[in-house]
Amino acid sequence: MGEGETPYKLFVRKIEALLKAERDGLTWTQIKQRLNLAQKVPNNRWVRQMEKDIGLTRTRETRGIVWRLG
Protein backbone atom coordinates (compact mmCIF):
# COMPACT_ATOMS: atom_id res chain seq x y z
CA MET A 1 0.00 0.00 0.00
CA GLY A 2 1.41 3.38 -1.00
CA GLU A 3 1.92 6.07 1.57
CA GLY A 4 -1.43 7.65 2.38
CA GLU A 5 -3.26 5.00 0.36
CA THR A 6 -6.26 3.74 2.27
CA PRO A 7 -7.50 0.14 1.98
CA TYR A 8 -10.43 1.50 -0.08
CA LYS A 9 -8.15 3.32 -2.53
CA LEU A 10 -5.95 0.25 -2.95
CA PHE A 11 -9.03 -1.91 -3.57
CA VAL A 12 -10.40 0.57 -6.12
CA ARG A 13 -7.08 0.83 -7.93
CA LYS A 14 -6.88 -2.96 -8.32
CA ILE A 15 -10.50 -3.34 -9.43
CA GLU A 16 -10.27 -0.44 -11.87
CA ALA A 17 -7.08 -1.76 -13.49
CA LEU A 18 -8.57 -5.24 -13.85
CA LEU A 19 -11.86 -4.02 -15.32
CA LYS A 20 -10.08 -1.72 -17.79
CA ALA A 21 -8.35 -4.83 -19.16
CA GLU A 22 -11.59 -6.86 -19.24
CA ARG A 23 -14.03 -4.94 -21.43
CA ASP A 24 -16.65 -7.70 -21.23
CA GLY A 25 -16.71 -7.31 -17.46
CA LEU A 26 -16.21 -9.86 -14.72
CA THR A 27 -18.29 -11.40 -11.97
CA TRP A 28 -17.25 -10.91 -8.35
CA THR A 29 -16.02 -14.52 -8.26
CA GLN A 30 -13.75 -13.88 -11.25
CA ILE A 31 -12.46 -10.62 -9.75
CA LYS A 32 -11.82 -12.32 -6.42
CA GLN A 33 -9.89 -15.16 -8.05
CA ARG A 34 -7.81 -12.96 -10.36
CA LEU A 35 -6.86 -10.53 -7.60
CA ASN A 36 -6.51 -13.25 -4.97
CA LEU A 37 -8.90 -11.48 -2.60
CA ALA A 38 -9.89 -13.12 0.66
CA GLN A 39 -13.35 -11.62 1.20
CA LYS A 40 -16.33 -13.72 0.12
CA VAL A 41 -18.42 -10.70 -0.80
CA PRO A 42 -17.38 -7.13 -1.53
CA ASN A 43 -17.94 -4.36 0.98
CA ASN A 44 -21.32 -2.94 -0.04
CA ARG A 45 -20.42 0.61 0.98
CA TRP A 46 -17.23 0.46 -1.10
CA VAL A 47 -19.14 -0.86 -4.10
CA ARG A 48 -21.63 2.03 -3.90
CA GLN A 49 -18.74 4.49 -3.58
CA MET A 50 -16.99 2.96 -6.60
CA GLU A 51 -20.13 3.57 -8.65
CA LYS A 52 -19.58 7.27 -7.98
CA ASP A 53 -15.78 7.34 -8.01
CA ILE A 54 -14.92 5.22 -11.07
CA GLY A 55 -18.25 4.69 -12.82
CA LEU A 56 -18.62 1.06 -11.76
CA THR A 57 -21.76 -0.58 -13.13
CA ARG A 58 -23.19 -3.97 -12.25
CA THR A 59 -25.69 -5.79 -14.43
CA ARG A 60 -27.42 -9.10 -13.90
CA GLU A 61 -26.62 -11.54 -16.71
CA THR A 62 -26.90 -15.30 -17.13
CA ARG A 63 -23.34 -15.72 -15.78
CA GLY A 64 -24.18 -13.65 -12.69
CA ILE A 65 -23.79 -10.01 -11.74
CA VAL A 66 -21.19 -8.56 -14.05
CA TRP A 67 -19.01 -5.64 -13.01
CA ARG A 68 -17.90 -3.13 -15.65
CA LEU A 69 -16.59 0.38 -15.86
CA GLY A 70 -19.22 2.74 -17.27
Q: Which residues contact 30 (CB under 8 A, 6 or more apart)?
A: none
**Of 18 and 1, more confident:** 18
Identify any residues that bridge with 60 across adjacent strands, giving them in sequence order: 65
The predicted model scores a pTM of 0.88
Domains (range + CATH), the chain: 7-69 (1.10.10.10)
Mind listing the pLDDT tens digit for each residue in 13-70?
A: 999 999 999 989 999 999 999 999 999 999 999 999 999 999 999 999 999 999 999 8
Residue 2 is predicted with a pLDDT of 58
